[in-house]
Amino acid sequence: MTAPKSPPAAPPPDLRNLPRTDRLLEAAARAGLVARIGHGAVVEGIRAALDGHRQAILAGRPCPSPDAIERDVLARLEEAARGSLRPVVNATGVVIHTNLGRAPLSSAAIDAMRRAAEGYTNLEYDLEAGERGDRYGHAEAPLCRLTGAEAAVVVNNNASAVMLALAALMDAPPARGPDAAPALAPPDGLPEVVVSRGQLVEIGGGFRIPDVLRRSGAALVEVGTTNRTYLRDYEAAVGPRTRILLAVHRSNFRLSGFVHDTPLEELVELGRRRGLWVVDDLGSGTLLPTRPFGLGDEPTVQERVRAGADLVCFSGDKLLGAPQAGILAGRREAVLRVKRHPLMRALRVDKVTLAGLLATLAHYERGEAIRAIPVWRAIAATPEELRARAEAWRAALGDAGARCAVLPGRSAVGGGSLPEVTVPTFVLALPAGAPDALLARLRRGAPPVVGRIEEDRVVLDPRTVMPGEDDALVHAVRAALAT
């Protein structure tokens, strides 16, 4: 009996409708895209788009027309021409939004950074002596005036500030106290850092205090419990290899209830008595008191310096409102050791960052930080001001605004600062229904607008929308609602 014949193989998919690369390259050149993003980037984008269409056809989907493919490729290239790092309108109400670049800068800081970037500066040149100068001296004087520290130095972020502080102070103790144990020779083991179990924190991006300790060449000694640590716990842990008592401020979460933390002043007294360094990782340091703004009592840098820590480490790009930086302020002996450590060169900041930091510090020295620094201007905005701004957005939307509402809400400081603390605001609530899709359309706008969802509605908080961005926000909302 003859076996049945196999059915004929399906014809191969027709790929002839795919336009040639040179045709798409010519179209991109006519649209000015080659001039904007370069020949190589355009060719790479065309090939990637054509490969995507080719794979779709091979998977059985119908082939678009050559004109449709050309429009798709040009749209993709136009998107690429905008660049991957773009300005966005932050309408989330989160003042220091890590994913959106943290602290926006004052106009004076931006101008100072532009001037530093446009030409040469005396970054490491002493104009008076006509010879090499001190890169770190530019910011040290204003930092010492503002914080009360004996000395200060700037590195690229607070994580590196903490790591550098531990590494620099690990080798030798400070001037030793009357009860100090003799210094230990290196072969006897790793130097030790004592820290409370309740302060072994992890911050954004998986940055963990225990990992920093290990990378700095220290042995970690945990004391106390998660919720209660006393001075006697630190005293019992001090041994011949102990070099540093580390305090870590819980700036991105809170412990409440049956809780006790050893005050920094008590750690300083123990450190002086036993000849140990005391390092305070303050995290998001503030130079202004936070209680007047309804934010509770966040410790200021000045308070921690007065408590006597050898080094206080804090961020420049959070509540300080400056470019990204890590600042170490405290006793001169400790800062000098930091400056001399080999890691200092790897972690130093450039002239542009220093220029922005200096301009920001000048706002504090002139007493104008609240009105000049965007972070503090946003924090200080009153609910009445914010309601008026949200109402103006609603009115500017015309017919679309009739479907929106101005409602009370809460804004957060964010950026690992002041956890669980919010302040009252008013938001523009967009029409209900499919909030995720509406947020996506807003993010695809020009400029992108980032909001949040509350009770199944997209809401836009004016607290974090920069002055001058209102018209762009209204245009983006109108376009998103019309789609």
What is the distance between the alpha carbons of residues 365 and 478, in angstroms, rounded to a whole number?
42
**In Å, how far are 122, 378, 472 from 481, measured between CA atoms?**
52, 27, 14
What is the distance between the alpha carbons of residues 231 and 266, in angstroms, rounded to a whole number?
7
Is 245 within 8 Å of 173 (Cβ atoms)?
A: no
CB atoms within 10 A of CB 324: 18
pLDDT at 254: 59
Higher pLDDT, 121 or 260: 121
Residue 320 identity (one-letter amino acid): L
Q: Is the pLDDT of residue 222 over 50?
A: yes
pLDDT at 183: 52
Q: Is the pLDDT of residue 475 over 80?
A: yes
Q: Is the pLDDT of residue 223 over 60?
A: yes
Q: Is 388 helix (H, G, I), strand (E, B) or coil?
A: helix
pLDDT at 361: 98
Name the one residue in this structure whose structure tokens are 């936070």.
Answer: 290
Residue ranges, CATH 3.90.1150.180, the chain: 89-100+378-482
pLDDT at 172: 75
What is the distance between the alpha carbons of residues 85 and 12, in angstroms, rounded to a whole number?
42
pLDDT confidence tier of residue 415, bands split at 50, 70 and 90: low
User: Per-residue pLDDT tens for 69-90?
Assistant: 999 999 999 988 888 889 999 9
Q: What is the mean pLDDT of the chain?
A: 88
pLDDT confidence tier of residue 13, bands split at 50, 70 and 90: low
CATH 3.30.530.20 corresponds to the domain 107-372: no
Q: Is the pLDDT of residue 419 over 70?
A: no
pLDDT at 460: 98
Least trusted range by pLDDT, from 9-18, 276-285, 350-359, 394-403: 9-18
Burial class for 137, CB neighbours closer than 10 Å (0-12, 13-18, 19+) = exposed
pLDDT confidence tier of residue 178, bands split at 50, 70 and 90: low
Average pLDDT over residues 206-223: 72
pLDDT at 176: 56
Residue ranges, CATH 3.40.640.10, the chain: 107-372
Higher pLDDT, 471 or 202: 471
pLDDT at 203: 59
pLDDT confidence tier of residue 185, bands split at 50, 70 and 90: very low
The pLDDT > 70 percentage for the chain reads: 88
Higher pLDDT, 386 or 196: 386
pLDDT at 262: 84
pLDDT confidence tier of residue 186, bands split at 50, 70 and 90: very low
Dihedrals phi, psi of 321, to nearest 5 degrees: 85, 25
Is 436 within 8 Å of 458 (Cβ atoms)?
A: no
User: Per-residue pLDDT tens for 21-56?
Assistant: 999 999 999 999 999 999 999 999 999 999 998 898
Pull the structure tokens for residue 278. 């005391």
Residue 430 identity (one-letter amino acid): L
Q: Is the pLDDT of residue 317 over 70?
A: yes
User: Per-residue pLDDT tens for 133-150?
Assistant: 899 999 999 999 999 999
Pull the structure tokens for residue 310. 């050898």
Q: Is the pLDDT of residue 325 over 80?
A: yes
Pick the CATH number of 89-100+378-482 from 3.10.20.10, 2.40.480.10, 3.90.1150.180, 3.20.20.70: 3.90.1150.180
Average pLDDT over residues 184-204: 70
How is residue 135 annotated by DSSP? Answer: T
Q: Is the pLDDT of residue 187 over 50?
A: no
Q: Are strands 417-429 and 405-414 parallel, antiparallel or unpaired?
A: antiparallel
Is 373 within 8 Å of 319 (Cβ atoms)?
A: no
CB atoms within 10 A of CB 248: 21
Give every CB contact of residue 183 below 8 A, 6+ residues apart in sequence: 172, 173, 176
Q: Is the pLDDT of residue 9 over 90?
A: no
Average pLDDT over residues 225-244: 86
Pull the structure tokens for residue 96. 């220091």
